[in-house]
């Protein structure tokens, strides 16, 4: 059964600390295996990628068939349900509009010393997006990763995804077309990450790799970081719902199970100020589980990792939420905006009783790629800035150098960096300083 806690109990502090410290990820040491794959792809390029695809995905490829053709990508929409395609296009439009507002502005100004200072934002030249799965691929993730990249101005966007036995979900390819993806490859696993990071004769390397994956993909992303940039290390999905007794318990139960059905390691937490309401939510969860197709996964997630926490007042939930730092936070309360002001750490906040987390997964607008496992304490969800970098601009001129050069010279001399000092002094006509 899910863990039940009351903030009024004497042992609550320790029990709550244990809850948020609990690791939900399966312990698997794949780093050595992945390192060997990375080294092999780096050394043998296309042939290594082809060999691993045959071994793991039972798919025979050649350099010429690594990529989907333009016709494959552009023609995928015709194989998809019209209603779903309309929803995809609507979601893409909303995601694009939301992220366009994130675009940063350049600036250049002259300070009181007459020195020109500023910054300029530019996009990375190329990015790779890993899409997990085969026929069960989460095509929504293509939109959520690719569109912010294109809004940022990435010139070349590459998608790679496993296609076991050649099976592909046409919705994933259709999403690639909608998002403006430039290249799509039939490759998954650590070998796909290596292909993107190091490049091969057929596939040019990228500058940054984003997107979720299994333990092998995650390890590969960690190991290639530095050669390329990466977005984040994503853990199991999670939601915390803060709700008072005025919300329909069936709604809250459905929201908790929406995360639980992702994976048995997902986590769903309810915080409420009403014990009787909590009991009704638990009862509603049991009812929903009887009809959910993914009930086995959802039930295991809820029973192993779920929690119900009863607090004295709804306002007390804020301190607990900030310690959890959840990926998704729902505030199903009378005044969600007021409570949200007390929340410092959360990947995304869903305000009000009529804002289920699932709309954020698909059509609200913000990217659903969010920090997990408490990482919201120090990081943000994926956005336009993840595909951009800032360059500083400095323009001294003669007067400006005369104003700040002596200070720089003194600091260089104090650090005993003589060439640093010389490069300033020689311009100040002060070689002997």
Per DSSP, the three-state class of 116 is strand
93 is catalytic: no
Q: In the numeric block, which tokens belong to residue 257?
A: 């199970």
327 is catalytic: yes
DSSP 8-class letter at 207: S
Give the Å distances, CA to CA, from 71 to 67, 81, 232, 271.
11, 18, 33, 50
Query: Do residues 193 and 221 make contact, with C-beta atoms less than 8 angstroms apart?
Result: yes
List, in order, residues 6 or more apart from 9 with CB less than 8 Å away: 15
The secondary structure of 355-385 as a DSSP string is: --HHHHHHTSSS-S----TTGGGT-----GG
List, in order, residues 6 or more apart from 183 with CB less than 8 Å away: 67, 156, 157, 158, 159, 203
Q: Of 328, 330, 357, 368, which residue is the catalytic one?
A: 328
Q: Of 238, 327, 330, 357, which residue is the catalytic one?
A: 327
User: Alpha-carbon distance 249 to 243, whole Å?
Assistant: 9
DSSP 8-class letter at 292: -
Q: Which residues are catalytic?
A: 327-328
């Amino acid at each position: 059964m899910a863990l039940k806690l009351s903030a009024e109990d004497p042992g609550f502090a320790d029990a709550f600390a244990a809850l948020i410290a609990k690791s939900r990820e399966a312990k698997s040491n794949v780093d050595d295996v992945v390192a060997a794959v990375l080294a092999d792809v780096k050394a043998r390029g296309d042939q290594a990628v082809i060999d691993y695809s045959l071994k793991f995905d039972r798919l025979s490829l050649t350099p010429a068939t690594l990529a989907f053709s333009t016709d494959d990508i552009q023609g995928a929409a015709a194989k998809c349900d019209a209603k779903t395609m309309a929803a995809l296009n609507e979601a893409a439009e909303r995601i694009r509009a939301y992220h366009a507002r994130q675009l940063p502005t350049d600036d250049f100004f002259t300070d009181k010393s007459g020195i020109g200072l500023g910054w300029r934002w530019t996009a990375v030249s190329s990015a790779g997006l890993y899409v997990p799965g085969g026929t069960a691929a989460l095509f929504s993730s293509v939109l959520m990763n690719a569109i912010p990249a294109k809004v940022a101005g990435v010139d070349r966007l590459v998608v790679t995804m496993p296609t076991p036995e050649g099976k592909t979900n046409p919705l994933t390819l259709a999403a690639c077309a909608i998002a403006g993806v430039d290249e799509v490859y039939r490759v998954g696993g650590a070998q796909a990450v290596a292909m993107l990071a190091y490049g091969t004769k057929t596939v040019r390397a990228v500058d940054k790799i984003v997107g979720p994956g299994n333990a092998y993909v995650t390890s590969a992303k960690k190991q290639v970081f530095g050669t390329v940039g990466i977005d984040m290390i994503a853990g199991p999905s999670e939601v915390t719902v803060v709700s008072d007794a005025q919300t329909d318990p069936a709604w809250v139960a459905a929201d908790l199970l929406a995360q639980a059905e992702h994976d048995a390691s997902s986590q769903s937490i309810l915080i409420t100020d009403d014990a009787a309401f909590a009991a009704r939510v638990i009862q509603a969860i049991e009812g929903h589980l009887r009809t959910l197709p993914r009930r086995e996964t959802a039930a295991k997630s809820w029973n192993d990792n779920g929690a119900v926490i009863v607090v004295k007042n709804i306002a007390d939930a804020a301190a607990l939420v900030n310690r959890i730092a959840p990926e998704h936070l729902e505030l199903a309360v009378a005044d969600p905006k007021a409570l949200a002001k007390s929340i410092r750490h959360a990947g995304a906040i869903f305000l009000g009783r009529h804002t289920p987390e699932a709309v954020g997964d698909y059509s609200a607008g913000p990217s659903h790629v969010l920090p997990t496992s408490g990482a919201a304490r120090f990081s943000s969800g994926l956005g336009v800035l993840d595909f951009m970098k800032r360059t500083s601009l400095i323009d001294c001129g003669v007067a400006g150098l005369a104003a700040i050069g002596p200070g720089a010279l003194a600091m260089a001399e104090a650090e005993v960096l003589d060439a640093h000092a010389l490069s300033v002094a020689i311009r100040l006509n002060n070689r002997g300083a």
